[in-house]
């Protein structure tokens, strides 16, 4: 995804001094914009991009402020829904490698993912059984 394409849908907000930056998609953004206070020392910076997959996050690292030392990408729901847990896990591992190499100033990366509770009937065995914790 090019930066020009991303800039039309991408929203990023950084308070004066942000230590952590969640990268979130879709439904998780419902209250973020409404409750964002850039003057509060407790506000987290965040980046949102609807319907993005894990592979898109690597293109968003340039938007993350250099003051951020903790990155919390909440991605992968679309990846698991469109592929399977093992593919999503491989994409996560590639993402973590890319973050470590591209942004050594980020000291901690916490990756989150909401796993589906009910698999698609067409997929056997269930995706949840094929996904392991990293």
Residue 113's pLDDT is 60
Domains of the chain in sequence order = 8-130 (3.40.50)
Query: Which residue has better confidence, 119 or 128?
Result: 119
Best-predicted range by mean pLDDT among 41-55, 61-75, 105-119? 61-75
Average pLDDT over residues 44-57: 71
Is pLDDT of 134 > 50? Answer: no
In the block, residue with structure tokens 């690292």: 61
What is the tens place of the pLDDT at every residue in 67-86?
778 877 776 667 777 777 77
**Alpha-carbon gap, residue 47 to 24, rounded angstroms:** 6
**DSSP per residue, the chain:** --HHHHHHH-EEE--SS-SEEEEE-GGGGTTHHHH--TT-TTPPPEEE-TT--HHHHGGGGGGS-TT--EEEEB--HHHHHHS-HHHHHHHHHHHHHHHHHH-TT--EE--B----SS--TTSSS-HHHH----
- Residue 55's pLDDT band (boundaries 50, 70, 90)? confident
């Amino acid at each position: 995804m090019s930066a020009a394409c991303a800039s039309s849908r991408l929203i990023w907000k950084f308070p004066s001094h942000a230590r952590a930056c969640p990268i979130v998609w879709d439904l998780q953004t419902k209250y973020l914009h409404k409750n964002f206070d850039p003057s509060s020392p407790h506000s987290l910076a965040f980046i949102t991009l609807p319907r993005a997959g894990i592979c898109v996050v690597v293109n968003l690292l340039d938007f993350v402020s250099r003051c951020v030392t903790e990155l919390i990408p909440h991605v992968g729901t679309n990846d698991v829904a469109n592929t399977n847990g093992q593919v999503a896990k491989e994409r996560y591992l590639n993402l973590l490698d890319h973050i470590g190499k591209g942004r050594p100033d980020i000291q901690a990366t916490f990756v989150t993912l909401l796993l589906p509770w009910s698999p698609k009937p067409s997929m056997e065995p269930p995706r949840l059984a094929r996904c392991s914790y990293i």
